[in-house]
Amino acid sequence: MAYFDAASAAPLHSVARQALLASLDEGWADPARLYREGRRARMLLDAAREAAAEAVGCRPDELTFTSSGTRAVHTGIAGALAGRRRTGRHLIVSAVEHSSVLHSAEAHEAAGGSVSRVTVDRAGAVDPAGYAGALRPDTALACLQSANHEVGTEQPVAAVAELCREAGVPLLVDAAQSLGWGPVEGDWSLLTASAHKWGGPSGVGLLVVRKGVRFAAQGPGDERESGRAPGFENLPAIVAAAASLRAVRAEAAAEAARLRELTERIRARVPRLVPDVEVVGEPVRRLPGVVTFSCLYVDGEALLHELDRAGFSVSSGSSCTSSTLTPSHVLRAMGVLSEGNVRVSLPMGAAEEDVERFLEVLPGAVAAVREKLGAPTAAVAREEDVLVVDSLGKRCPIPVIELARVIGDVPVGGLVRVLSDDEAARLDIPAWCEMRGQQYVGEEPAEHGTAYVVRRTS
């Protein structure tokens, strides 16, 4: 089985496994105690903190170990907002942040705060000018990921950090996806990360708060981890996380070059092997091992099952693979095709022959799904000079399939009106028009669902 979902969780690094097993014997005692076992545990904890701080590029006393990357994000945002409550209650985030950041923003709004969401381009990158325009006198905190978890696009953190610093606003960087590859550039104020993203054990997060940043930890006080992460430290996991971070950094430069070549191979060959595919994300400024593409007329969940049967573990941002039946917020913010989305995220050590076999298997898997979905017959009617496609009650990618099947039935300049109550159609129909050279006119209210109007131009 080829595991191609490292952006969700990287396989446990061999160094992490060794450190974990060793520290189970040496690091079980309470590091806050003064007897021999406690002192031994404290030495392990201090050494782990120093190693992690060196990798991040911060002081050891600025780094806190948390129970997860999500907990680090929640604690970091809440503490920074509380510490700067006299300045104001305005928060800035990008539209493509990880859900942990967006959920914190939603909670802040529910509590009476205000949030500005900076848009991204079709490659998933923010424009620093968007952050400059969002900064206000009452801005308490800004957040920006170092690289996107779904499409791999790296963000201009250094430029945004400089703008925030000039405005006197701290910037929190979610570095979960990039920290294993190198330190985050720029004069940021807070940083979060998660060990299971770089091959450490799950259940360990990092929260860095630079000296001089106003920060007020929320919740009941605790004497451990500077009061920012209450509870007994999971010392064996912390030691393994720090050891594996150091190990992957030592391998990062050579492995990044190798994985970039493999992902470039996927980016270049998938559109040639599979028709009607959109490769998404920034082509140059991107994580080494992540490549994402979307396939027209394909059910995302069905495609993932086909690839799983063929021996490949991949992920997807398609609405069909989620319980909410709405497309990924990242793909939606980018305005790109969401149906049939596949994210390939190669782990360190991914084999070239597995990538080649994936490229051999993919065309047949996509064709099989498209064949299964090719049967629906569109309910077609005419309203004066407009062809109407009734796709109410049908989920992605059926509305787009039915649109594609009837577009040739109208003359050039004629209109097709697609009725759909699937939220994904709002994203996928305009994306289909751009890919196929047709004009997306816009959406109109309908008695049921929404009408998406398309003009045939070729």
**In 3D, which of 307, 262, 300 has the Cα closest to residue 398?**
300
Predicted TM-score (pTM) of the model is 0.88
Cβ atoms < 10 Å from Cβ of 275: 13
Q: What is the Cα gyration radius of the chain?
A: 24
Q: How far apart are CA 122 and CA 434, in angstroms?
A: 12
Asked if 414 contacts 387 with a C-beta cutoff of 8 angstroms, the reply is: yes
Taking CA atoms, 410 is separated from 404, 443, 454, 456, in Å, by 11, 19, 11, 7
Residue 244 has pLDDT above 50, yes or no: yes
Asked if 306 contacts 299 with a C-beta cutoff of 8 angstroms, the reply is: no
The pLDDT, as a whole number, for residue 222 is 73
Indicate the pairing of strand 139-145 with strand 90-94. parallel
Q: Of 122-136, 164-178, 282-296, 305-319, which gets the smallest average pLDDT?
A: 305-319
The pLDDT, as a whole number, for residue 220 is 80
The pLDDT, as a whole number, for residue 326 is 72
Sequence-distant (≥ 6) Cβ neighbours of residue 1 within 8 angstroms: 311, 312, 313
Asked if 266 contacts 359 with a C-beta cutoff of 8 angstroms, the reply is: yes
Asked if 80 contacts 170 with a C-beta cutoff of 8 angstroms, the reply is: yes
Asked if 74 contacts 218 with a C-beta cutoff of 8 angstroms, the reply is: no
The pLDDT, as a whole number, for residue 380 is 47
Kindly indicate the confidence band of residue 376, based on its pLDDT and cuts at 50, 70 and 90: very low
Residue that has been written with the tokens 């959406």 in this structure: 443
Residues acting as catalytic residues: 320
Retrieve residue 25's tokens: 């014997």
Average pLDDT (124-137) is: 98
The pLDDT, as a whole number, for residue 378 is 39
The pLDDT, as a whole number, for residue 322 is 55
Q: How far apart are CA 320 and CA 301, in angstroms?
A: 6
Residue 153 has pLDDT above 60, yes or no: yes
**In 3D, which of 434, 385, 388 has the Cα closest to residue 413?**
385
Average pLDDT (350-356) is: 97
Taking CA atoms, 238 is separated from 41, 175, 221, 227, in Å, by 11, 18, 22, 17
Kindly indicate the confidence band of residue 184, based on its pLDDT and cuts at 50, 70 and 90: very high
Residue 409 has pLDDT above 90, yes or no: no
Residue that has been written with the tokens 């396989």 in this structure: 11
Asked if 374 contacts 401 with a C-beta cutoff of 8 angstroms, the reply is: yes
The string of pLDDT tens digits covering residues 54-103 is: 999 999 999 999 999 999 999 999 999 999 999 999 999 999 999 999 99
Sequence-distant (≥ 6) Cβ neighbours of residue 191 within 8 angstroms: 56, 58, 172, 173, 174, 175, 184, 206, 207, 208
Residue that has been written with the tokens 């952050």 in this structure: 131
The pLDDT, as a whole number, for residue 284 is 94
Asked if 66 contacts 229 with a C-beta cutoff of 8 angstroms, the reply is: yes
> In 274-397, where does DSSP find H-type helix?
300-309, 329-334, 352-373
Q: How far apart are CA 434 and CA 127, in angstroms?
A: 23
The pLDDT, as a whole number, for residue 379 is 46
Largest alpha-carbon pair distance within the chain? 88
The string of pLDDT tens digits covering residues 379-404 is: 445 555 688 999 998 888 899 999 99
Q: How far apart are CA 234 and CA 155, in angstroms?
A: 32
Q: How far apart are CA 122 and CA 36, in angstroms?
A: 58
The pLDDT, as a whole number, for residue 225 is 77
SS3 of 62-97: HEEEECCHHHHHHHHHHHHHHHCCCCCCEEEEECCC
Asked if 454 contacts 416 with a C-beta cutoff of 8 angstroms, the reply is: yes
Residue 149 has pLDDT above 80, yes or no: yes
- String of DSSP letters for 210-234: -TT------SS--SSGGGTS-S---
Residue that has been written with the tokens 């007897």 in this structure: 35
Phi/psi of residue 317, each to 5°? -110, 15
Retrieve residue 447's tokens: 């008695």
Residue that has been written with the tokens 């009617």 in this structure: 381
Phi/psi of residue 416, each to 5°? -120, 130
The string of pLDDT tens digits covering residues 225-243 is: 777 888 888 999 999 999 9
Q: How far apart are CA 334 and CA 315, in angstroms?
A: 18
Residue 252 has pLDDT above 70, yes or no: yes
Cβ atoms < 10 Å from Cβ of 349: 14
The pLDDT, as a whole number, for residue 71 is 96
